[in-house]
Structure 1
Amino acid sequence: MVNNTALNGVDINQLGKTVQAVKDNTALAKCQFRTTTQWISGAHAQTHVQGFYGLGQEDHSRSTPFIIESDEPKALMGTNKGANPVELLLTGLAACITVGLVYNAAARGISLDELKIEISGEIDLQGFMGLSESVRPGFNDISVYCHLKSASPDSDLLDLIEYVKRVSPVHNTISQPTPVEVIFQRL
Structure 2
Amino acid sequence: MTATKTTHPAKTVDNGVNVTALLGAREALANAPQAAQFKWRASCEWLNGTHSRSAIGTFYGLGSEQQRGKTFAIEADHPQVFASEDNAPTPVELVLSGLASCLTAGIAAVAQHRGIQIHSIKASLEADMDLYGILGIDADVRNGFGAVRVNFDIKADASEADIKALVAQSQKRSAVFDIVTNPTAVFVTVNGP
TM-score if structure 2 supplies the norm length? 0.89
Q: Which structure 2 residue ranges, 5 or more long, are not aligned? A: 1-10
Instruction: Give runs of ≥4 in structure 1 deviating > 6 Å.
Output: none
User: In the TM superposition, what is the alpha-carbon distance from 1:6 to its structure 2 partner?
Assistant: 6.8
User: In the TM superposition, what is the alpha-carbon distance from 1:78 to its structure 2 partner?
Assistant: 1.4
CA shift in 2, pair 1:5/1:28, >3 Å? farther
Distance across 2 between alignment mates of 1:177 and 1:32: 18
Query: Which residue is equivalent to 1:44?
Result: 51
Determine whether 1:35 maps to 2:52: no
Q: How does 1:55-134 map to 2 (within 5 A)?
A: 55-62=62-69, 64-134=70-140
Distance across 1 between alignment mates of 2:39 and 2:84: 31
Distance across 1 between alignment mates of 2:123 and 2:153: 6
Query: Which residue is equivalent to 1:164?
Result: 170
User: In the TM superposition, what is the alpha-carbon distance from 1:146 to its structure 2 partner?
Assistant: 1.4
Determine whether 1:183 maps to 2:189: yes
Distance across 1 between alignment mates of 2:159 and 2:18: 23
Percent identity, aligned pairs only, is 31
CA contact (8 A) 2:104 2:123 kept: yes
Q: How does 1:7-26 map to 2 (within 5 A)?
A: 7-26=14-33
User: In the TM superposition, what is the alpha-carbon distance from 1:30 to its structure 2 partner?
Assistant: 1.2
CA contact (8 A) 1:5 1:12 kept: no
Greater RCO, CA 8 A, separation 6+? 2
SS of 1:170's equivalent in the other structure is helix
User: In the TM superposition, what is the alpha-carbon distance from 1:160 to its structure 2 partner?
Assistant: 1.6
CA contact (8 A) 1:5 1:11 kept: no
CA contact (8 A) 2:13 2:115 kept: no
Distance across 1 between alignment mates of 2:18 and 2:52: 36
CA shift in 2, pair 1:151/1:95, >3 Å? same
Determine whether 1:54 maps to 2:61: yes
What is the alpha-carbon root mean square deviation over aligned residues? 1.6
User: In the TM superposition, what is the alpha-carbon distance from 1:106 to its structure 2 partner?
Assistant: 1.1
SS of 2:68's equivalent in the other structure is coil
CA shift in 2, pair 1:142/1:80, >3 Å? same
Q: Which structure 1 residue ranges, 5 or more long, are not aligned? A: none
- Spell out, residue by residue over 1:73-102, the C-alpha distance to the aligned partner (whole angstroms, 9 max, x if none): 001111111111100110111111111111
Distance across 1 between alignment mates of 2:13 and 2:114: 12
Distance across 2 between alignment mates of 1:22 and 1:160: 24
SS of 1:21's equivalent in the other structure is helix
Distance across 2 between alignment mates of 1:14 and 1:144: 29
User: In the TM superposition, what is the alpha-carbon distance from 1:104 to its structure 2 partner?
Assistant: 1.5
Matching residue's letter, 1:167: R
Distance across 2 between alignment mates of 1:77 and 1:26: 48
User: In the TM superposition, what is the alpha-carbon distance from 1:157 to its structure 2 partner?
Assistant: 1.3
SS of 2:118's equivalent in the other structure is coil
Matching residue's letter, 1:111: Q
